Structure 1
C-alpha cells in the first residue's frame, strides 16, 4: 500500500497533467513498481464509485431484496473496474505498433491517478442520484456537465502525457474512450445490467 505522501504526490501530478502541465510527470513514479502501484488509484476512487453503484443499484435492483441490490452492486463494480482496466490491456498490445510504446507506462500511471480524480469529480451527481432520486432531471444535468468537464481534463492529460502532439494525443484519447465504451456496454450486456436512461450518468 502506498503512503499518504506518495498517494498525494501521484494525485497532484495527475492533476497538473489534466491542466496541460507536463511537469506533473515528475511527481509520478514511472518505475515498474510505480506502474503497478498506480492501480492503487482504484482503491482511492472506490468510496466515490461505491456511492454511484449504490444509487444505481437502488434504482434498478429489487427494492425489496437486499441480496438483489447487493448482487447488482457487485455487477456494477465489475463493469466499472473492467472498463477501467481492460482498455489499458488493449493499449499495451497496440502501443508499440502505434509508435507510443515508450509512453505506455507514463500514460497508464497518469491515467490511473487521473481516473481516481475523475471518480471524485463525478461524486456530486452520484450523491444527487442517491439522496434525491426524485430529482432525476437535475442529476442528469449535473452528470452531463461533469462528464463534459471530465472529458476535457482527460484529453489534456492524455495529450500532455503522450507528448507527441495534439493529433497523436487526440487519437489515443478517442481510442481509449471508444474501448472503454465497448467494454462498458459489453460487460453490461454480459452481466444482464439494464440501466434506464434516467439513471445513467
Structure 2
C-alpha cells in the first residue's frame, strides 16, 4: 500500500494539474504498476466512507418504525455500493478511451481519478459528520454539499484537460462517464440493496 508520503506526493501532483501545471505528472506514477497501486486509494478512503455510512444509517433509521435496527449487513451493502460506484465509471472511461483511440492515456485517467477521490472522500466525510449532529443549518449544509459536487466536477475537468490536451469534446465525454453514472445509478442500487430510506 502506498505510504502517507507517497499519497501526499500524488495529491500535490493533482493539485498542480488542477492549476494547469504539467509538472504535476512528475509526481504521479502513471505506469501500469502505478495504475494498479492507485486502487489502494479505496482503502485510504474507507475511514471517511465509514462516516458517510454512519450518517446514511441514521438517515435510514429515521424512516423506519421505532425500535427498528440495522445490522452489519447494511455496511456490507454500503461497501458493495461504493465498489460499484468506483469501478463502473472507470470501466466506462476505459471503453470511451478505446473508442476515441486514446487507450495509452487510460492509466493516467485511472491514477488521477483514484487519487483525486481521497480528498473528496474526506471532505464528504466531514460533511456527513456534521449531518450526524443536531443542526438548524440543513439548508446551508445542502449548499456546501452542492459546492463540493461543483468543485469535484471542475477538478476532474481540469485534470482531464491536462491529460487529453485542448480537446473539449473528449474532455467532456470523459467527465460525463466518470461522474454521471454514479449519480444516476446510486439510488437504483440503494433500492435494489434495500438501503434506501422510504
TM range, normalised to the smaller chain? 0.7 to 0.9
Provide closer, same or farther for how the CA distance between residues 82 and 48 of structure 1 changes in structure 2, counting only shifts above 3 A: same
Deviation readout 1:20-74 (Å, 9 max, x if unpaired): 32221111111221111001111111111211111111110357455x1533333
Moved over 6 A (4+): none
| 1:3 paired residue number | 3
Q: Secondary structure at the match of 2:96?
A: helix
Hey, what's the Cα distance between the residues in 2 that align with 1:69 and 1:144? 30
In the TM superposition, 1:92-103 aligns within 5 A as 92-103=94-105
Moved more, 28-37 or 133-142: 133-142
What's the TM-score, normalizing by structure 1?
Answer: 0.85
Hey, what's the Cα distance between the residues in 1 that align with 2:187 and 2:159? 24
In the TM superposition, 1:35-184 aligns within 5 A as 35-61=35-61, 64-65=67-68, 68-132=70-134, 135-184=137-186
| 1:199 paired residue number | none
**RMSD of aligned residue pairs (Cα, Å):** 2.2
Moved more, 179-188 or 104-113: 179-188
Provide closer, same or farther for how the CA distance between residues 140 and 116 of structure 1 changes in structure 2, counting only shifts above 3 A: same
What's the TM-score, normalizing by structure 2?
Answer: 0.86
Shift of 1:140: 1.3
Moved more, 28-37 or 84-93: 84-93
Which sections of structure 2, spanning at least 5 residues, go unmatched? none
Preserved contact between residue 159 and residue 165 of structure 1 (Cα < 8 Å): yes
Which sections of structure 1, spanning at least 5 residues, go unmatched? 197-201
Moved more, 13-22 or 37-46: 13-22
Preserved contact between residue 52 and residue 123 of structure 1 (Cα < 8 Å): yes
